Structure 1
């Protein structure tokens, strides 16, 4: 699958699940003087998350162009030494504005990766914030992922924050383990070819 096919497969998948497809915003956020560049898929929805704006839809999805060169989400120092960091990338994202929460988000992510993209479930390792028992249980019970495949990580890896203040919270990521050797020892993260 090439990048255009990944984008289209994702957009088709979320559209079928009731998400409104929102085009990528400009890399320079026109209404946000706090950011030099859009650095995450949620940036165009920042005012919705802060309660300042309402949209005509409760489910949105986008393929957002992002640039990270400074600030909290600065990937510039990681480009080169890390095989998975780049300054410019497109972030696929599906968002809920009070419509669904963790259980559905987890189900959507798992179904997309295993059914739509066809990744082997035994190579996928969901990560959760170390104190987020609810997400760990949802990954293990709702989607049938063995508890041994769910990796608990600390704040550095699985607690998202927009900045020093504002929206924040635990998150999940799904790591595709190409070697089968790295995920049980998160301290080896930089030595392991995880993508």
Structure 2
């Protein structure tokens, strides 16, 4: 299964324009490297440039997380899921659709295209995001929805710029394979593997830390290609997948 193509084609079928991966070194003084799929669209999210037509896009962005706010360098070698370089699948809405549709798209792709077993899936939402909780409850049992605070479920590209609460999707790789004290939902172990983060872009953070509402609430998602590939190939480490 070519997961990269399946993802892009799925969102193209939903009206998204497929965008090529942007350079790893962005034209952005606040970042050393492109660390997420939304980086090329920062000016669109903030309203600094007009939103494109169509206002929904999808991409497979190459990313580096070595230094800065999102730094995975210290995790490489300690987990089976972290890399300094990886590919992030994403779908983006610039004021066109928001939480309800983003959640519905994610559930459809994971369960109908990837065909991951529903009894292995869990999701998290921000502790104050009742709306996202209610939307997820249409698709998944409430006991599989967890509420966490800012540390786990509020995402920002950097110290400044677009940000907002988020919802993460996890895959349970099985307690029979993982036995560390961190192998629980919310822990740092590899048993519950985060595969997709849906960010509800609602704010822009200024240098003084102030949050201001964005002109149009938007969607920024990121799915780890390496992680999903390993799951589909029955591997418990990204490094054992065909991508490596």
**Could you state the TM-score of these two structures normalised by the residue count of structure 1?**
0.90
Aligned to 1:63: 60
Q: How many angstroms does 1:180 deviate by?
A: 5.4
Q: Is the 8 A contact 1:124 1:149 kept in 2?
A: yes
Report SS of the residue matched to 1:167. Answer: strand
Deviations 1:107-153 (A, max 9, x none): 00000000001001111101111211111111002x2x100011112
Deviations 1:53-92 (A, max 9, x none): 1223210000000000011111111111122111111100
Aligned to 1:191: 189
Q: Is the 8 A contact 2:171 2:192 kept in 1?
A: yes
Q: How many angstroms does 1:192 deviate by?
A: 4.1
Q: How many angstroms does 1:12 deviate by?
A: 0.8
Determine which structure has greater relative contact order: mean sequence separation of CA pairs < 8 Å that are 6+ residues apart, divided by chain length: 2
Distance 1:166 1:153 in 2: 22
Aligned to 1:165: 160
Distance 1:76 1:107, change over 3 A: same
Aligned length: 188
Aligned to 1:176: 171
Aligned to 1:76: 73
Q: Is the 8 A contact 2:63 2:88 kept in 1?
A: yes
Report SS of the residue matched to 2:137. Answer: helix
Report SS of the residue matched to 1:115. Answer: helix
> What runs of 5+ residues in structure 1 fail to find an aligned partner?
none
Report SS of the residue matched to 1:190. Answer: coil
Aligned to 1:45: 41
> What runs of 5+ residues in structure 2 fail to find an aligned partner?
194-244
Match status 1:153 vs 2:151: no
Match status 1:99 vs 2:90: no
Distance 1:15 1:65, change over 3 A: same
Question: Which structure: greater strand fraction?
Answer: 2
Distance 2:141 2:101 in 1: 18
Distance 1:180 1:125, change over 3 A: farther
**Could you state the TM-score of these two structures normalised by the residue count of structure 2?**
0.73
Report SS of the residue matched to 1:9. Answer: helix
Question: Which structure: greater helix fraction?
Answer: 1
Q: How many angstroms does 1:166 deviate by?
A: 2.4
